[in-house]
Amino acid sequence: MKTIIIGAVAAGAKAAMKLRRLMPDSEITIYTNDTHISYSSCGIPYYIKGDFDDYRELFAKTPEEFENVGINVFLQHKVVKIQPEYNNILVNDIIGEKSFLAEYDNLIIATGARPFVPHIKNINLSKVFSVRSIEDAINIKEALKSAKRAVIVGSGYIGIEMLEAFVSNNVYVDVIEMSETILPYLDSDMSKLIQKELECIADGRFEFHTGKLVSELRGDCDGVKEVITQFGEAYRADLVILATGVIPNVELAIDAGIELGSTGAIKIDKFMRTNFNNVYACGDCAQKMLMISDEPVYIPLGSYASKEGRAVAINISGQNEEYAGILGSTVTKCLDLTISMTGMTETHAIKSGFDAVSYTLTKCDRVGYMPDAENITLKMVADKKSGQILGAQAFGSKYADKKINSLTSALAGKMTVKDFLNNDATYAPPYSTSVDLLYNAALGLLNKIDV
């Protein structure tokens, strides 16, 4: 049996390795137009920051490790056409300038996502970067050496993480966000609190500019010099980061008649199959189902890539592995602030038709008398009628994400707020308070729901 995998940053790499273990004798071939496979994009901000010096640390596995277990790896091989009705793909060898057809029994589309590039005048000036590939990482780290000021366009995860990377290297940063609040995927009440916290520790090292659209870049042959907003404001910049989100790489799929979902990513069933029985999709190019509401969402995260790659391999091997979906659990770090969420925001829940209520509180992460006790602010969201917990957002100390992770099982199990009161959290003064923040939040929320 021949399996072809297109793309192998995370999902494709995992699928290949898992399939090798499940079907030792099958033929597995990876084609990618990338120069690298099996790497951690999520680690790029920390490489740029200088938490580690060798970009090769980002590689989970080398191409040789794949070859050593009999997986064929073709780097810089661009797949230009998928023909599901012929079970073949057309591949162009970028370096060798050769073109060939490759046949498959099963095809795995793991083409990932690419940075969304907004419509900005002179976007092609040098020293304007997205943050995605190993090359991006190396180029930004190099440009950083001679930079004094940077502009980051966008304040999602990548924008926020690059902010930390830059100010840690004494580069002043202006963050320009078109939404009215930073971190626009959170509820705006939480985003505003987070922005205030970050501004408190900014100390002249960075500034947020929200509600502003970048319309133009200015510069010369040496690269970008200024970033101009729609209001005509100009921000000086020795380099610019575009952190305006990603879009799934679905052009090959569209061309092949593979259906997309309502989110614009490739539609798959519970068994990771597209509308063609022997064509699977996983990772950042594939649509996800939100477990809480069984609605399609596009939340491309590294943590899903591995699980989805694994599920594809198991299904190809002939076992049935249902992939239940995701909760949209995330964490990001900006300087000393941890920001985390799971499930739906209140805004999202209302849009999805829930009668959403919420409760927000701030409490110490450890008993107040312990040195280093710090605050965590948490907002918990539930459905007023059913009492089902729909999501939570938290920020504060390095334990903020741990509070979120104490809720994820409850969300996956569609537990109610009342159910959650049975959660028995550990307690000792160096680690927590005797009454846990989450218990307080659940009690507060209980007063607002019907059951």
Site for its own copies in 154-193 (CB under 8 A): 157, 161
Tell me the window of 20-28, 111-119, 184-192, 400-408 that interacts with its own copies (CB under 8 A).
400-408
Task: Pick the closer one to its own copies by CB: 146 or 422.
Answer: 422
The answer to whether 5 and 30 are in contact (CB under 8 A) is yes
Q: How far apart are CA 66 and CA 38, in angstroms?
A: 10
Nearest-approach distance from CB 33 to its own copies, in angstroms: 23
Task: Pick the closer one to its own copies by CB: 1 or 443.
Answer: 443
Nearest-approach distance from CB 298 to its own copies, in angstroms: 15
Handedness of CA 212, 113, 401, 421 (dihedral sign): positive
Question: Binder to its own copies among 124, 405, 450, 451 (CB under 8 A)?
Answer: 405
Distance of CA 361 to the CA centre of its chain: 27
For residue 412 the two structure tokens come to: 């996956």
User: Residue 327 interacts with its own copies (CB under 8 A)?
Assistant: yes
Termini Cα distance of the chain: 54
Question: Binder to its own copies among 342, 360, 377, 393 (CB under 8 A)?
Answer: 342
Nearest-approach distance from CB 258 to its own copies, in angstroms: 26
- Site residues for its own copies, 233-262, by CB under 8 A, read none
Tell me the window of 92-100, 205-213, 325-333, 353-361 that interacts with its own copies (CB under 8 A).
325-333
- Say which of 42, 282, 334, 364 is annotated catalytic: 42
For residue 92 the two structure tokens come to: 């162009």
- Site residues for its own copies, 353-382, by CB under 8 A, read 367-371
Nearest-approach distance from CB 323 to its own copies, in angstroms: 9
Task: Pick the closer one to its own copies by CB: 250 or 289.
Answer: 289
Task: Pick the closer one to its own copies by CB: 170 or 409.
Answer: 409
The answer to whether 285 and 109 are in contact (CB under 8 A) is yes
Nearest-approach distance from CB 341 to its own copies, in angstroms: 8
Site string for its own copies, 268-307 (x = CB under 8 A): -----------------------x---------xxxxxxx
- Site residues for its own copies, 103-162, by CB under 8 A, read 157, 161
Nearest-approach distance from CB 241 to its own copies, in angstroms: 18
- Site residues for its own copies, 22-81, by CB under 8 A, read 40, 42-43, 46-47, 51-52, 57-58
Task: Pick the closer one to its own copies by CB: 224 or 380.
Answer: 380
Task: Pick the closer one to its own copies by CB: 7 or 219.
Answer: 7
Nearest-approach distance from CB 340 to its own copies, in angstroms: 5
Task: Pick the closer one to its own copies by CB: 272 or 404.
Answer: 404
- 10 Å CB burial of residue 231 (0-12, 13-18, 19+) is exposed
User: Residue 404 interacts with its own copies (CB under 8 A)?
Assistant: yes
- Site residues for its own copies, 412-431, by CB under 8 A, read 412-413, 415, 419-431
Size of residue set near its own copies by CB under 8 A = 71
Nearest-approach distance from CB 437 to its own copies, in angstroms: 11
Task: Pick the closer one to its own copies by CB: 109 or 437.
Answer: 437
- 10 Å CB burial of residue 368 (0-12, 13-18, 19+) is exposed
The answer to whether 420 and 443 are in contact (CB under 8 A) is no
Q: How far apart are CA 214 and CA 55, in angstroms?
A: 31
42 part of the active site: yes
Task: Pick the closer one to its own copies by CB: 260 or 331.
Answer: 331
User: Residue 451 interacts with its own copies (CB under 8 A)?
Assistant: no
Q: How far apart are CA 249 and CA 266, in angstroms?
A: 9
Question: Binder to its own copies among 83, 168, 210, 408 (CB under 8 A)?
Answer: 408
Nearest-approach distance from CB 326 to its own copies, in angstroms: 5
Question: Binder to its own copies among 29, 340, 393, 397 (CB under 8 A)?
Answer: 340
Catalytic residue annotation:
42
